[in-house]
């Protein structure tokens, strides 16, 4: 459920008309709903009720500082994958012990920053990383709390670019080798074993792959405990999919996911950590855009928007479906016709949708891409020297610009022409 609905014929975010935001901020821009973010966090929390648990929001999905502060105030922990994300989480007020630091390529500098911040868990993905972390921690006179990320060799049955739990993927250590890696870790004075970790992919639309992976994880925990390791936490990663409305995907409900977590790892008596990103932020945001032209091509119509692939890259990168809706509510009996929805960037990849069935939409109209709150603004770029898309947070009847659109002067000022070219 989200809070983007038509009120009196106008698409609103909570109580704010998107048309008012467009008039004040300009388009394209992202609009987030605070009530939806909060609701999604609480749904995750309730899904795990009865188990000791922590929700570490994967802030790669949407790392706007206002979003992070909102979630931090609800008690969220965070899953960070870089020093930049670590700094964001800390600046949002998340205590270090609620932060897990993930990622296949942590540098020594990043490890130092995370240790200094007192992060609660490093998710370590290889033996070389484990040895590097041990060295950095000893150098600082500290012990790094560690979970080894295991690769359970499970097919997540999601898009190949966001599948992570197969043995051919770069992530984690093969689950069969995990006992040896734990034995290695146990002998390192700069490392303290606290748990096990996995993450098998993103936008999963079935429970079965999770269930297979979590069962393997539970067996591993038994084996590790039998070998004398104190496994007090299991980190199950993120990945639960969301409905992209009309794409016919019906992902499992968080409540059913929670029940499955209970039956697979609930009996271990360990603290359960999950790292949802999309589930919290995805349907809490839309990308608001305006139609620049409607153009007739050879046998097809094009809607040319002022938003482009640099603002929302998911359709170009993953063939992702984002529902597109007009901001002015169409009549219930409005005829639908197929149109290609494209941006102004100079490549054919800048296509949001092909032959999409849409009600009449004309030049000048406002439209919104739904389910754009996750992996939208964070993946935006300035390709074609288009200003980085701004972000707006709505709460009730108020809205605030939480990242402003840079000016062209600001964009150009970051670059230098060297003296020899002056």
Residues with active-site annotation: 346
- Which listed range, 139-147, 254-262, 277-285, 360-368, lies at the site for ligand LLP (CB under 6 A)? 277-285
Applying CB under 6 A, among 63, 64, 203, 283 the residue interacting with ligand LLP is: 203
Q: Which parts of 159-188 interact with ligand LLP (CB under 6 A)? A: 162
Q: Which parts of 37-56 interact with ligand LLP (CB under 6 A)? A: none
Contact between 314 and ligand LLP by CB under 6 A: the answer reads yes
| Residue number with CB closer to ligand LLP (181 or 236) | 236
- In angstroms, give the least distance from the CB of 139 to ligand LLP: 26
| Residue number with CB closer to ligand LLP (60 or 403) | 60
Applying CB under 6 A, among 277, 285, 387, 390 the residue interacting with ligand LLP is: 277
Contact between 62 and ligand LLP by CB under 6 A: the answer reads no
Contact between 276 and ligand LLP by CB under 6 A: the answer reads yes
E strands present in 152-227: 173-174, 191-197
Contacts 24+ apart (CB under 8 A), 178-185: 178/148, 178/150, 178/220, 178/224, 179/220, 179/223, 179/224, 179/227, 181/127, 181/130, 181/148, 182/148, 182/224, 182/227, 182/229, 183/227, 184/127, 184/130, 185/124, 185/130, 185/146, 185/148
- In angstroms, give the least distance from the CB of 379 to ligand LLP: 6
d(CA 309, CA 345): 7
Applying CB under 6 A, among 102, 114, 218, 389 the residue interacting with ligand LLP is: 102
According to DSSP, residue 208 is labeled H
- In angstroms, give the least distance from the CB of 224 to ligand LLP: 20
- In angstroms, give the least distance from the CB of 294 to ligand LLP: 28
Copy the structure tokens of residue 77: 């922990």
Inter-residue contact 84 to 66 (CB < 8 Å): no
Query: In Å, how far from its chain's centre is CA 326?
Result: 25
- In angstroms, give the least distance from the CB of 16 to ligand LLP: 26
Copy the structure tokens of residue 128: 């070389």
Question: If we measure between CA atoms, which residue out of 321, 380, 277 comes closest to residue 28?
Answer: 380
Q: Which residues bind ligand LLP (CB under 6 A)?
A: 58, 60-61, 79, 102, 162, 199, 202-203, 237-239, 275-279, 314, 318, 374-375
């Amino acid at each position: 459920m989200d809070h983007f609905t038509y009120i009196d014929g106008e698409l609103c975010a909570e109580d704010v008309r998107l048309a008012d935001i467009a008039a004040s901020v300009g388009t394209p821009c992202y609009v987030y709903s605070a009530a939806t973010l909060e609701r999604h966090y609480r749904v995750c929390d309730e899904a795990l009720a009865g188990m000791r648990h922590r929700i570490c929001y994967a802030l790669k999905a949407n790392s706007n500082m206002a979003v992070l502060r909102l979630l931090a105030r609800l008690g969220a922990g965070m899953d960070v994958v870089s020093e930049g994300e670590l700094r964001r989480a800390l600046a949002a007020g998340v205590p270090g012990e609620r932060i897990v630091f993930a990622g296949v390529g942590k540098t020594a500098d990043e490890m130092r920053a995370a240790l200094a911040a007192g992060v609660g868990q490093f998710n370590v993905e290889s033996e070389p990383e484990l040895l590097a972390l041990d060295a950095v921690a000893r150098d600082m006179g500290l012990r790094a709390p560690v979970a080894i990320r295991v690769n359970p060799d499970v097919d997540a049955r999601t898009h190949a670019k966001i599948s992570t739990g197969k043995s051919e993927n770069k992530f984690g250590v093969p689950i069969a080798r995990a006992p040896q890696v734990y034995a290695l870790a146990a002998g390192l004075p700069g490392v303290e074993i606290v748990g096990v970790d996995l993450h098998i992919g993103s936008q999963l639309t079935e429970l079965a792959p999770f269930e297979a992976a979590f069962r393997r994880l539970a067996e591993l925990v038994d084996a590790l405990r039998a070998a004398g390791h104190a496994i007090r936490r299991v980190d199950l990663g993120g990945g639960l999919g969301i409905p992209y409305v009309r794409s016919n995907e019906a992902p499992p409900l968080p409540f059913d996911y929670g029940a499955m977590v209970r039956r697979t790892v609930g009996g271990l008596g360990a603290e359960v950590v999950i790292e949802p990103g999309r589930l919290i932020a995805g349907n809490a945001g839309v990308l608001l855009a305006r139609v620049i032209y409607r153009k007739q091509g050879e046998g097809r119509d094009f809607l040319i928007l002022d938003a482009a692939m640099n603002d929302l890259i998911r359709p170009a990168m993953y063939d992702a479906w984002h529902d597109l809706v007009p901001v002015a509510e169409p009549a219930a009996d409005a005829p639908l016709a197929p149109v290609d929805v494209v941006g102004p960037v100079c490549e054919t990849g800048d296509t949001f949708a092909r032959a999409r069935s849409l009600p009449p939409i004309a030049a000048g109209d406002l439209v919104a891409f739904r389910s754009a709150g996750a992996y939208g603004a964070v993946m935006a770029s300035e390709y074609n020297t288009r200003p980085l898309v701004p972000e707006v947070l709505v709460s009730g009847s108020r809205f605030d610009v939480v990242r402003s659109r840079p000016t062209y002067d600001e964009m150009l000022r970051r670059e230098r022409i060297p003296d020899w070219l002056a």
